Amino acid sequence: MIAVIDYGAGNLQSVVKAFHYIGCEVKVTADKEELKEASAAILPGVGAFGDSMRCLNQSGMVQPALDFIESGKPFLGICLGLHLLFEGSEEDPGISGLGVLKGQICRIPEKDQLKIPHIGWNSLNIRKPEGIFQNLEANPYVYFVHSYYLHAEDRDVVSATTEYGVEIDAAVQKGNLFATQFHPEKSGRTGLKMLKNFVSLIDRN
């Protein structure tokens, strides 16, 4: 069973529907014991960094999520779920993220008449054609909705980048931990392939 962590600030239904579409059992849960027993976990998210961290803390799911990542089982953060894995964000200075990975979440610069938030399809420069990016076409297009972006301190964890006025770290990978700035569940057949790749990692644990 794949657990979708419910902390009151996630785009849960689109994620659930995407996994159901590829034939996978998922369960939305805010129960730490259910999370512990899951074979993989998803941390989705929409909205503001600070509000989401407050919700995550109030839900009591911070330590269970950290323990799950430490367990070595596959873990996927999506959109704001990627942001929360890092140390902090310019969106809400002074509020700490989970700090699993080092880096900051920065505001997309307003230049070149680019619209903020960034909404739409962009191609990826895949740096690690493995994990969720295994057997994908070159430079696949995926769907983004965001005003803030990751700049990871450890460049070795960056698995894909894109360009939108600035180079954006669009995905990260470290061991069993994966996270994407874009929405694989809204990225058509390419995104569904990524989710299938994620599910395939379960069997390797």
Domain boundaries, the chain: 2-202
**Tokens found for residue 144:** 């983004």
Q: What is the pTM of this model?
A: 0.96
Check if the beta carbon of residue 73 is closer than 8 Å to that of residue 205: yes
pLDDT of residue 196: 97
Ranges in the chain, pLDDT < 70: 10, 204-205
Integer-rounded Cα Rg, in Å, for the chain is 16
- Catalytic positions, written as ranges: 79, 183, 185
- The CA distance from 111 to 40, in Å, is 39
Q: What is the pLDDT of residue 152?
A: 97
Q: How far apart are CA 121 and CA 182, in angstroms?
A: 9
Structural domain 2-202, CATH architecture: 3-Layer(aba) Sandwich (3.40)
pLDDT at 9: 73
pLDDT at 59: 93
Show the tokens assigned to 125. 């420069």
pLDDT score of 204: 66
Give residue 141's pLDDT: 98
List Cβ neighbours of 7 (8 Å cut-off, separation of 6 or more).
Answer: 30, 52, 55, 56, 58, 59, 61
Q: How far apart are CA 185 and CA 173, in angstroms?
A: 18
